[in-house]
Amino acid sequence: MTTATGSMPTGSMSIGSMPTESMLTESVPAESARTVGIFGAGKSGTAIARRALAAGYTVRITTSGPAERTALVAGILTLGAVPVDAQHLADGTDLVVLAVPLRAWRDLPLARLAGRVVVDVMNYWPPVDGILPEFETDRPSSEIVRDGLPPDARLVKTLNHIDYHDIEDLARPAGSPDRVALAVAGDDADAVALVSQFVDDLGFDAVPAGGLAASAALQPGSPIFGANLGRADLIATLDGIGRATA
Ligand SMILES: NC(=O)c1ccc[n+]([C@@H]2O[C@H](COP(=O)([O-])OP(=O)(O)OC[C@H]3O[C@@H](n4cnc5c(N)ncnc54)[C@H](OP(=O)(O)O)[C@@H]3O)[C@@H](O)[C@H]2O)c1
C-alpha cells in the first residue's frame, strides 16, 4: 500500500463541458440509475471513479471544496463524473463511497447518508492521518465509522486493501485467470450483494469476508492488505485469519 501523498494537477480550465445536474436528471431515468457518489477526488476516489465510469455508472464526486473547485479536478482526472458539493453528493445515489483520509470523515455530511449503502474505502494510516484517538483501539475502524452514521445507513468495507494504481492496472473482465479478488465485509446481506456487484463491475472478484466485526482482516497489517490475491488465495488467507483469531 502506498504512503505517497501525491499531488493534484493544477491550473485553470473551462468547466463548460462538465455534465450538469440537469443533464444527469434528463439522461438517467431513476428506475434504471446505477449511480455512485464518491466523497474524495484523490488517488483512491478518482481511480474508483474512472473504473465506475468505464463500467457505465453515473458518478458523482466531491472534494472538500465547492462543486466549482471539484470540477477543476474532475475535469482532468474523472472526465464524465458530475462534480457536486458534499451536501448533495448522496442525492439520487445507489452507493456512496467514502474515499477521504480517515481524519476527515467526521467532516462529511453524515446525516445525508441516511438510508444509503455506504462503501468504506478508508484506512487508519497514522503516517497520513496522524494519531486519531478514536481509532487507537482493537475495534475495526469500520465499526467506528458505522457507529457515526445514521442508524439506517448500511456500511460495507471493501476496496481499501488494494493500492489505487492497482484498481486500474489489475482490473480484469470476469473470468480472467489473473483476476484479483477483493474482500467485502458488511452486516447487511443486501448491501454486501450490491457492493459486491459494484466490485465485480470495477473488474475484481468479490469475496464475502463476514460482518464489520471481522473487518480487521481487511485493514493495514493483514496478510491480504496490498497482496492482490486471486479468489482462491484470498479465501484461503481469510480462512486462515479466521482460524487464527477464532
Ligand atoms: N491511496 C491509496 O492507494 C489508497 C488505497 C486504499 C484505500 N485508501 C484510503 O482511501 C482514503 C483516501 O486516500 P487517498 O490516497 O485517495 O487520499 P488523497 O489522495 O489525499 O485524497 C483525499 C481526497 O479527499 C478529499 N476530502 C478531504 N476532506 C474532505 C471532505 N471533508 N469532504 C469531501 N472530500 C474531502 C480531498 O479533497 P481536498 O483536495 O479538497 O482536500 C481529496 O480529494 C484514505 O482513507 C486511504 O487510507 C487509499
pLDDT tens-digit profile of 190-231? 999 999 999 999 999 999 999 999 999 999 999 999 999 999
What pLDDT was estimated at residue 24?
39
What pLDDT was estimated at residue 32?
32
Q: Worst-scoring range by mean pLDDT, 11-15, 51-55, 157-161?
A: 11-15
Helix (H, G, I), strand (E, B) or coil at 56: coil
Percent of the chain with pLDDT over 70: 85
CATH number, position 121: 3.40.50.720
Tell me whether residue 1 is in a domain.
no
Q: Please, which pLDDT band fits residue 241 given cuts at 50, 70 and 90?
A: confident
Ligand 1 in contact with 93 (CB < 6 A)?
Answer: no
Query: Which residue has better confidence, 77 or 4?
Result: 77
Tell me whether residue 3 is in a domain.
no
Distance (angstroms) between ligand 1 centre and the Cα of 165 equals 14
Distance (angstroms) between ligand 1 centre and the Cα of 100 equals 3
Q: Please, which pLDDT band fits residue 6 given cuts at 50, 70 and 90?
A: very low
Tell me whether residue 12 is in a domain.
no
Tell me whether residue 232 is in a domain.
yes
Tell me whether residue 60 is in a domain.
yes
Q: Measured between alpha carbons, how far is 207 from 236 in angstroms, rounded to an integer?
A: 11
All three cell numbers of 25? 436528471
Mutate to test the pocket of ligand 1, among 7, 60, 64, 225 (most ligand atoms within 8 A of CB): 64
What average pLDDT does range 52-64 have in this prediction?
Answer: 97
Mutate to test the pocket of ligand 1, among 5, 39, 44 (most ligand atoms within 8 A of CB): 44
Ligand 1 in contact with 123 (CB < 6 A)?
Answer: yes
Tell me whether residue 112 is in a domain.
yes
Scored b (16 or more CB within 10 A) or e, 95-109 reads: bbbbbbbbbebeebe
Ligand 1 in contact with 90 (CB < 6 A)?
Answer: no
From the CA of 125, give the closest atom in ligand 1: 47
**39 - beta bridge partners?**
62, 98
Does the pLDDT at position 89 exceed 70? yes
From the CA of 8, give the closest atom in ligand 1: 39
Domain count, the chain: 1
All three cell numbers of 108? 462529511
CB of 142 closer than 8 Å to CB of 185 = yes
Q: Measured between alpha carbons, how far is 147 from 96 in angstroms, rounded to an integer?
A: 16
Average pLDDT, rounded, for the chain: 88
Ligand 1 in contact with 122 (CB < 6 A)?
Answer: yes
Q: Please, which pLDDT band fits residue 244 given cuts at 50, 70 and 90?
A: low
Distance (angstroms) between ligand 1 centre and the Cα of 236 equals 30
Ligand 1 in contact with 127 (CB < 6 A)?
Answer: no
What average pLDDT does range 90-115 have in this prediction?
Answer: 97
Residue span of the structural domain in which 93 resides: 30-245
Does the pLDDT at position 26 exceed 60? no
Tell me whether residue 118 is in a domain.
yes
Q: Measured between alpha carbons, how far is 187 from 210 in angstroms, rounded to an integer?
A: 7
Tell me whether residue 5 is in a domain.
no
Q: Measured between alpha carbons, how far is 208 from 182 in angstroms, rounded to an integer?
A: 9
From the CA of 107, give the closest atom in ligand 1: 31
What average pLDDT does range 92-119 have in this prediction?
Answer: 97
- Would you give the distance in Å from CA 46 to the centre of its chain? 10
Distance (angstroms) between ligand 1 centre and the Cα of 201 equals 22
Does the pLDDT at position 187 exceed 80? yes
- The dihedral through the CA atoms of 208, 209, 215, 220 has a sign that is negative
